[in-house]
Structure 1
Amino acid sequence: MGKYGGMSVQFEGLDKLFRSFNVSKTKARNETFKAVERTVKKAQSNSKSLAAVDTGYMRDHINTQPTESHGDVITGSYESLASYSGYQEYGTRKMAAHPFMRPGTKQAESFFYQELRRLLSV
């Protein structure tokens, strides 16, 4: 997770997913890894488009982290490195929230499932 704010997408229970598709476990794992990578990039793009822009610093510093695979857990994440990102995302007692990370991630959710269906169809 980022120093100032980030979102992490973690998909667990891959064995159950692999069984639901008629593909080998290796192919399913590799394609799921690709789907997570693409979904994180989609979430990053969404969040950048939703970010409040004054100087463009916050938007320009929403970065992805390398996708990781540890056994049956594949994790992809992205973060906003602007020190004021949390204030924008959640607001303060003097300023309304202007969420951009959570909605960006939520918008990418359906993309993940579409990618899995596309990549794992045989």
Structure 2
Amino acid sequence: MAEIKFEGITKLNKGLKKRMDMSAVKTVVKKNGSEMQKKAQRNAPVDTGNLKNNIGLEISDGGMTATVEPTAEYAPYVELGTRFMEAQPFLKPAFEEQKKQFEKDLKELVR
């Protein structure tokens, strides 16, 4: 039976990670996070404007994570509804739409 043994794979992986420029990925993350924030703000129902104005964007993990989150205390009730109020989703539709664009953008980087 033939056996193939690769030596130095760990060292090769470390070297590749050192040399890899992740700035393009970070740019895609930031761009898509910003676009999702805008879509969520556009989708948010407006009464006083508090909900719309308090949808924030946070970039973390050295630029590899974008978090879009409403800070208004009542945001989950608007998004999901209650037994007295119908849901008015604004965050999930923005996520579903932006997810497709994010995947396309990342695929472009891999080419």
Per the TM superposition, whether the score is higher than 0.5 is yes
1:67 to 60, 63, 69: 60
**TM-score in terms of structure 2 length:** 0.74
Structure with more contact order per residue of length (Cα contacts < 8 Å, sep ≥ 6):
1
- Cα RMSD for the two superposed structures: 2.1
* Runs of 4+ residues deviating >3 angstroms: 117-121
Scaled by the length of structure 1, what TM-score is found?
A: 0.68
Which structure: greater helix fraction? 2
Aligned pair partner of 2:68 in 78, 102, 105 = 78
Structure 2, gaps ≥5 residues long = 1-18
In the alignment, structure 1 segments of 5+ residues that lack a partner are 1-24
Q: Distance in 2 between matches of 1:36 and 1:66?
A: 8
Considering fraction of residues, name the structure with more strand: 1
Identity level (%): 27
- 1:4-39 per-residue CA deviation (whole Å, 9 max, x = no partner) reads xxxxxxxxxxxxxxxxxxxxx623x22112111111
How many residues end up aligned between the 2 structures? 94
Larger radius of gyration: 2
